[in-house]
Amino acid sequence: MHVRDARADDAEAFVRAYEVSWDAMAAPLVGKTLEELMSFEDRLESFRSALAQRSDDARILVADRDGAIVGVATCVRDGATCELRSLYVVPDAWGTGVSRPLMASALDAMRERGATEATLWVVEANARARRFYEREGWTLDGETRASPLGPQEVHYRRSL
């Protein structure tokens, strides 16, 4: 397995991996599948648009195992802070060590561009993700917000 920047020819595989991962982890918490929120075609167009508009401050990464995308991550740097906007691993790859190198690559990319701190939002009830982030050195900072999809989210930070 290796982590690399997403490419235009990854579009369908990226969107499918994101969907399978999101539906397994987030759909039970928000009560809707990704397809119910946005069509596959719209998500595909969104990915292609994000790739086309990508700047030095934004990264879209994939974890590739034998030619199959098993994880995806997106992050954006704003000044000295990097926000990890998404990190999803397909359920078949849960527990196989994909998440750590995927997150590390995202943070390394932002560190290389001058970020000194990373942040992320996660659904408060997402115990699995929260345990992972906390094991990886992320700490709650006390901020909360209502997700656009309804559930409460909590905010994490970590130094780079």
pLDDT of residue 51: 84
CA distance 129 to 110: 21
Closest to 37 (Cα-Cα) out of 120, 129, 123, 148: 148
Write out the two tokens for 21. 């991962």
pLDDT of residue 134: 97
CATH number, position 130: 3.40.630.30
CA distance 121 to 157: 9
Q: Supply the mean pLDDT for the chain.
A: 93
In the chain, the DSSP E strands lie at 2-5, 58-65, 68-78, 81-89, 117-123, 139-146, 152-159
Closest to 147 (Cα-Cα) out of 155, 139, 138: 155
160 in helix, strand or coil? coil
Domain membership of residue 15 as a residue range: 2-159
Helix and strand counts by DSSP (H, E) for the chain = 6, 7
Q: How confident is residue 53, by pLDDT bands cut at 50, 70 and 90?
A: confident
Determine the average pLDDT of the residues in 4-10.
Answer: 94
Instruction: Give, in order, the Cα–Cα distances in Å from 39 to each of 36, 88, 102.
Output: 7, 19, 26
Q: How confident is residue 55, by pLDDT bands cut at 50, 70 and 90?
A: confident
What digits encode the pLDDT tens for the residues 109-133? 889 889 999 999 999 999 999 999 9
pLDDT of residue 20: 95
Residue 107: pLDDT over 80:
yes
pLDDT of residue 148: 83
What digits encode the pLDDT tens for the residues 57-95? 889 999 999 999 999 999 999 889 999 999 999 999 999
Structural domain total, the chain: 1
Determine the average pLDDT of the residues in 145-151.
Answer: 89
Instruction: Give, in order, the Cα–Cα distances in Å from 147 to each of 59, 85, 123, 133.
Output: 23, 13, 8, 19
First and final C-alpha spacing in the chain: 24
Write out the two tokens for 124. 């408060």
